[in-house]
Structure 1
Amino acid sequence: MTRRRRRRGSPPAPPPPPPLENDDLLREILLRIPPQPSSLPRASAVCKRWRCAAVDPKFVARFRAHHGKPPLLGFFQRRDDIVFAPVLAAPDRVPPERFDLRIRVTDSEAHLLGCRHGRVLVFDVARAEVVVCDPITGERRRVAVPPELKTGHVNGAVLCADRGQEHVHGGCRSSPFKVVLVFMRSHDQRPLACVYSSETDTWGHLIPTEAPHPGSACCGGAQSILVGNVHCWPLRHAKDGMLQFDLDRQSLDVIETPPGMNVPRNHQIVQAEDGTLGLAILSHHYHNIQMWQRKVNCQGVATWVPWKTTEMHDILGLSPPTEVVKRGVELILGYDQDANEMLLYLDGTVYIVQLKSMQSRKL
């Protein structure tokens, strides 16, 4: 028996790393890093072992489930084209060209209808099609709308159709989706809805409201809010109420709204803390934000009740009001339902206000 001598001066070979499957401690550490866009990529640059853990699909799904709702990366808006506007600072800021939908408004009249579950919905008026875009992969799917929807004002929403208990919204690009379109029939001013399913590649039948609602223009370009499995849009003339489409019941209703919604762009449909339908109304003279909640009493009757009122000077991070703001130059630009944050335009500045903590930050 001979012994192989090690060459003098050469270090012994390092022991092999433990199998990744057994490295539970590393996964637990990575699971607790902040859910910012740069967190996992920076962690994966540490070494090969960390990279294998950070990009593992099972770990990524667990990471999403652990942190819940992701931070707001930005929002899409219609300018000369439909563009992405980032809201985070470096190193988490996503460049606008990274999410280029390649939809040019100059080439075709296009309306941005909304974003949800990783997809963007655009209505191409000239081609009478809806375009479902995945900004991550650049994939686009065009679907011709029913003939009845080719005239009149149309609004809509896109959502993931996977309702499995194990599914976590965020990585929905391989999941089926649904498109809900609502519009106002021109000859009788009656709101109607129609649902498209990517699984069957078909539109369902037209769904009207129980009674005509004349004098209400449809939705006014606002993005829908999804409460449970019910989509809600404000009608263009706010005093006329809001549209409510129940996906489970396949029903469309017009519901009344509380007082104070007669000023354009001073109100926003939100989700209340208990998951029910809510409303945020910005006072016309920079005084406060009034929050309302829709409650169902023991007789099954739904009514609006005051939820809470927050004075503007109590919102942390807002600049003191100027005379211009006091005269009513304030707008609600939008609402991020995942983070429960509202975008306010006040005195030439855009703020993001967190509705639970009532803290704000300037963009």
Structure 2
Amino acid sequence: MSEEGGEIAHRHGSSPAAPASLPDGDDLLREILLRLLPEPSSLPRASAVCKRSRRLVTDPKFLQRFRTRHGKKPPLLSVFRCLDNFVFIPILDPPDRISPECFSLHSANQVLRCRHGRVLVKCRLRKEAVVCEPISGEQRCVTISPEFNMGFFNGTVVCAAGDLGHVHGGCHSSPFKVVLVCMCREDNRALACVYSSETGIWGNVISTAAPCELWDMGAPATLVGNALYWLYMSNGMLEFDLDEQSLSVITGPPITDDFRRRQIIQVEDGDVGLVTLSYPSFQMWERKVNCHGVATWFVRKTVGIHNILGLPSQLEEWERGMESILGYTEDTDAIFIHVDSNVYMA
């Protein structure tokens, strides 16, 4: 009896091991989603599975973790050609390929800028700009502010989301801003105006303190920090500060290269820079501003493009002077150049 009682007491005195805590359902699914391939179609396809997946993959914190985990820059989705008509040319293979049928703009005259998953195009005949989202196929028409000369204006689109941890590129439902610049006919001063998708109206027109020769065709804006930069025909740049809502003229580096061989970029330090093409090399300039507000340009580095792209060290006589910089993508930090009737990405 005592032994049996002791045995019973022993059993009752021992606490059974607590069961291991199971991970939260969201946490488990989140870890699975983080391991998807970093391809454009991965998260959209996952979001179509159920509401729960859609909620997780659209969360800014998850998008930040996904981008950090894979450490991969977003791919180039397409290119645009505007000769006799406006053509959207996809680059990627299925299932990441965007169908040309979902992006059709017959009245478009010019692509002004692609940024943060959106495309801004000019429709001169309809006196409006159109903000397009190639992935979703959505388009939003913005009537141009009457102060602007429809024959000579440039512009760009930027994401307006300011929440902490926001990841550009996955922000198709976020608010945006359209910034247009043009020349004032009376005194040749540059003008700027900002449209907000949240309010649906244009802000006040802002002008530079001094005249400048703003270039329209082939000179899209470059976003550096929270400021936009445009090249203009003489040796300088137009700067629009998105925070201060100010427009100013900046003197460029002491160069004499053809305008078609220059491109504003963002350098590694986050400063504004300028790349000049002097075949067979690129020269990269950087602008530094000291504590007294004095700006200085200096050559950061020189790179031989024939070593990178496998191009000849010298061009044929008839090819010389025809090379040019066609554009620059901020997300992938790539420059497109035209050499020998071909386009290269460096």
TM-score (norm 2): 0.82
Q: Classify the secondary structure of the residue corresponding to 1:172.
A: coil
**Separation in 2, partners of 1:263, 1:255:** 18
TM-score (norm 1): 0.78
Residue 293 in structure 1 maps to residue 283 in structure 2? no
Counterpart of 2:88 (choices 84, 87, 95) is 84
Residue 251 in structure 1 maps to residue 246 in structure 2? yes
Note the C-alpha offset of 1:287.
2.4
Q: Which residue of 1 aligns with 2:231?
A: 234
Note the C-alpha offset of 1:51.
5.6
Change (3 A) 1:133 1:212: same
Residue 37 in structure 1 maps to residue 48 in structure 2? no
Note the C-alpha offset of 1:20.
8.0
Residues matched between the structures, number: 318
**Separation in 2, partners of 1:156, 1:270:** 17
**Separation in 1, partners of 2:84, 2:97:** 20
Structure 1 stretch 111-120 or stretch 182-191: which is displaced more?
A: 111-120
Counterpart of 1:318 (choices 305, 310, 313) is 310
Q: Which residue of 2 aligns with 1:9?
A: none
Kindly indicate whether the alpha-carbon contact (under 8 Å) linking 1:70 and 1:339 is maintained by their aligned counterparts in 2.
yes
Kindly indicate whether the alpha-carbon contact (under 8 Å) linking 1:27 and 1:53 is maintained by their aligned counterparts in 2.
no
Change (3 A) 1:348 1:20: farther
**Separation in 2, partners of 1:30, 1:151:** 47
Give unmatched runs, 5+ long, in structure 2. 1-21
Aligned amino acid, residue 310 of structure 2: L
Note the C-alpha offset of 1:55.
4.6
Change (3 A) 1:40 1:190: closer
Residue 116 in structure 1 maps to residue 115 in structure 2? yes
Kindly indicate whether the alpha-carbon contact (under 8 Å) linking 2:235 and 2:253 is maintained by their aligned counterparts in 1.
no
Note the C-alpha offset of 1:60.
5.4
Note the C-alpha offset of 1:125.
1.4
Note the C-alpha offset of 1:19.
8.6
RMSD: 2.9
Q: Which residue of 1 aligns with 2:220?
A: 223
Higher alpha-carbon Rg: 2
Q: Which residue of 2 aligns with 1:103?
A: 105
Change (3 A) 1:60 1:139: closer
Note the C-alpha offset of 1:269.
0.7
Note the C-alpha offset of 1:182.
0.2
Change (3 A) 1:187 1:344: same
**Separation in 2, partners of 1:52, 1:161:** 28
**Separation in 2, partners of 1:37, 1:98:** 18
Q: Classify the secondary structure of the residue corresponding to 2:306.
A: helix
**Structure 1 vs Structure 2: percent identity of aligned residues?**
48
**Separation in 1, partners of 2:30, 2:318:** 50
**Separation in 1, partners of 2:202, 2:247:** 16
Aligned amino acid, residue 81 of structure 2: Q
Structure 1 stretch 31-40 or stretch 272-281: which is displaced more?
A: 31-40
Aligned amino acid, residue 348 of structure 1: S
Change (3 A) 1:83 1:299: same
Kindly indicate whether the alpha-carbon contact (under 8 Å) linking 1:230 and 1:245 is maintained by their aligned counterparts in 2.
yes
Q: Which residue of 2 aligns with 1:341?
A: 334
**Separation in 2, partners of 1:165, 1:92:** 31
Give unmatched runs, 5+ long, in structure 1. 1-17, 45-49, 354-363
